[in-house]
Homo-oligomer: A and B are copies of this chain.
Amino acid sequence: MNIFPDAKILEVNLSTSIITTRLLSGEIYRLYPGGSALGVYLLLQEMEPENDALSPANTLIFTVSPLTGLPISGSSRLNITAKGPLTGAIGDSQSGGFFPAHLKLNGWDAVVFRGRAERPVYLYINGDEAVLRDAQNVWGKVTGEAEAIIRTEIGVNDLEIAQIGPGGENLVKYACIINQCTRANGRTGMGAVMGSKNLKAVVLKKGKPTKAYDVDKFKELATSVKTRLVENEAVAGLGKYGTDGDLEGFNNEGFLATNNWTAGHLVEGANNITGTTMYETILKNRDTCFACAVRCKRVVEIPGVVDPLYGGPEYETCAAFGSYCGVTDLETVALCNQLCNMYGLDTISCGATIAFAMECYEKGLITREDTDGLELNFGNHRALPILVEKIAKREGFGRLLAEGSLRAALQIGQDAIELSISVKGLELPAHMPQFKPAVGLIYAVNSFGADHQSSEHDGFLVLPPDSRERQRLAQIGIWKGYDNSYELDAEKVRFALASQKYFSILDSLCLCQFVWGPSWELYGPTDLIDLCKYGLGWDTSLYELMLVGERRINMMRYFNAKAGFTKEDDQLPKRLFEAFNDGPSKGVQLDKAAFEKAKERYYELAGWDTKTGSPTEATLIGLSLDWLLEKDLTWS
């Protein structure tokens, strides 16, 4: 009988340079079985949430899961947790690539970074050994250069490197952590936390392949997963056109966030930045993550302008530097993507903050005096790469924009605040709540701010009742179908919450949503349960896993409450409640009253106090989170 494995945790005190190892017993690990759940669990024990995100009191935590490193599609994801500097709330982000698999293949479930190094360092892990090395040579270098220097320094080629660029070093509030120069733990500014710790990189010697618990059954499952992926039309589309394959449809329907969300479509030129166009023009290659059959990652090249080393833009990047800014120039989008990957910036927050600045400029809230002479009208694609560099280097106008749109707005003045299209300070990704109100609800209530990968999207409820996706949703308790996705009733709230729990499982087990999410017609909980069973000998159930998902959501919310967040912080930008003036979605808006009611309902269904928006004592106890109460008995 297999008992859940212990978690092996590497603890790095950057202030003292002391590195230790500890085991978290499998009995506890099973409650927080990796990834984001484990990250938040450890963070709650590491720090008081009220401490400053960029102080040495913050703790930066890399986590994978017991499943990571197994050779199956969609299983190599790295989670990074810390208090977020952009929001002051819990920070949380995931990336793919090969780094995640190899962290686990070196034997580690988590790496915890405490304190702050006196001088820049990087951590080098080779199996059980871990050492801090001087990073003076790479500090200030963009990611590609730093990678090359580190490889030379260590003298080994089979390395995986996760690092910050100058953006993180300069504490840009939405700096990210990049591995393979292409995979970003993008959101919530984890790169700034890493920068504040004078930690340039985490470098791994590649690990050795691992064996599944039940080798034969696992192989059967992995082959079946691969076969289904390869044969599936939708996955083929994702592989061929990348996530940007979605842009065209969204624009046609009028739900492509445009000109800082003042419109729902690009009147002209959208075709320039679609996945199809990218595929037909600048796409050089399709990149993959460890053991994955999908190959959704773009690799683009524009000789003399864009280097394939830095991959290629996702849909979100095409929207943020494209439609958000009224820009339809693919070269600009690709270049900005490259710059973000070089400097280590989150493409969404970066593009969105520039779009915000453009609207401020057009509205006269800022002028050329503020912008270092740049004309910041929507559509001025030339300004974009310039601004990205300024932000990363915190030069001139970039100093303001490096703070993110909300903090920038607070400096610009009262009128600018509603132009920051953000929740809790985290800029909205490019899925419009007018079209996907359940996603909008999650934007509002999600602990780390507006996130489009924390729940299922409304559109799946519009599919026929006998579709596999709908049957899968039934497995998480959702039955009702819709004629269109705009409705926001009680069932939608249940859908939002239940699918949030499900996605929360994936972020904890460190599985890719594109393979393991219910979005595709291929996979579902059944495969997930099989994966745990054959991969790990973990005879689990979707019920146990949904508790994991719910536990993570509630630990995050608890963290936020301790950091001073209340339900007042669960607001969507005012703009979303105003009808579109024209285009295919003319007249569509998010109904304010329905939304507020749904939010109230969400609190109730989530077991959160409707006055404070925080988990009730009963909710925490119901999720076996009693230890949070023991820690603070005044909690209620």
Contact = CB atoms under 8 A, between A and B. Distances in A.
A542 interface: yes
A396 interface: no
A605 interface: yes
Interface stretch (A46-54, A236-244, A364-372, A471-479): A471-479
Interface string A461-498: 00001111001001111010000000000110110000
Is the contact region of chain A dominated by helix, strand, or loop, or is it mixed? helix
Interface string A74-94: 000000000000000000000
Q: Size range of the interface on A?
A: 35 or more
A474 B1 contact: no
A1 B466 contact: yes
A161 to B, nearest CB: 38
A493 B622 CA distance: 9
Interface string A594-636: 0000000100110100000000111001101010000000000
A221 to B, nearest CB: 15
Most buried by B among A3, A467, A493, A539: A539
A63 B337 CA distance: 61
Contact of A621 (B525, B529, B604): B604
A31 interface: yes
Nearest to A524: B539
Contacts of A605: 618, 621-622
Interface in A505-526: 524-526
A540 interface: yes
Given A1-B466, A30-B474, A604-B618, A479 B624 contact: yes
A525 B542 CA distance: 10
Interface in A563-617: 601, 604-605, 607, 616-617
Given A490-B626, A604-B621, A475 B27 contact: no
Interface stretch (A104-112, A224-232, A543-551): A543-551
B542 A471 contact: no
Interface in A158-194: none
B626 A601 contact: no
Nearest to A473: B544
Contacts of A544: 474-477, 542
B490 A547 contact: no
A464 to B, nearest CB: 9
Contact of A526 (B31, B541, B604): B541
Nearest to A477: B547
Contacts of A547: 477
B490 A541 contact: no
Contacts of A624: 477, 479, 491, 494
A546 B622 CA distance: 15
A533 B545 CA distance: 20
Interface string A22-47: 00000100110000000000000000
A540 B475 CA distance: 5
A381 to B, nearest CB: 47
A430 to B, nearest CB: 30
Contacts of A626: 490
Contacts of A616: 604
Interface string A1-18: 101000000000000000
A542 B543 contact: yes
29 contacts: A1-B468, A3-B465, A27-B465, A31-B479, A471-B539, A474-B540, A474-B544, A475-B539, A475-B543, A475-B544, A477-B543, A490-B621, A491-B624, A493-B621, A494-B624, A524-B539, A525-B543, A526-B539, A526-B541, A529-B529, A541-B541, A541-B542, A541-B543, A542-B542, A542-B544, A601-B621, A604-B621, A605-B622, A607-B607
Given A31-B479, A474-B544, 19 more contacts: A1-B468, A3-B466, A475-B539, A475-B544, A476-B544, A477-B543, A477-B544, A477-B547, A490-B626, A491-B624, A493-B621, A494-B621, A494-B624, A529-B541, A541-B543, A542-B543, A543-B543, A543-B546, A601-B621
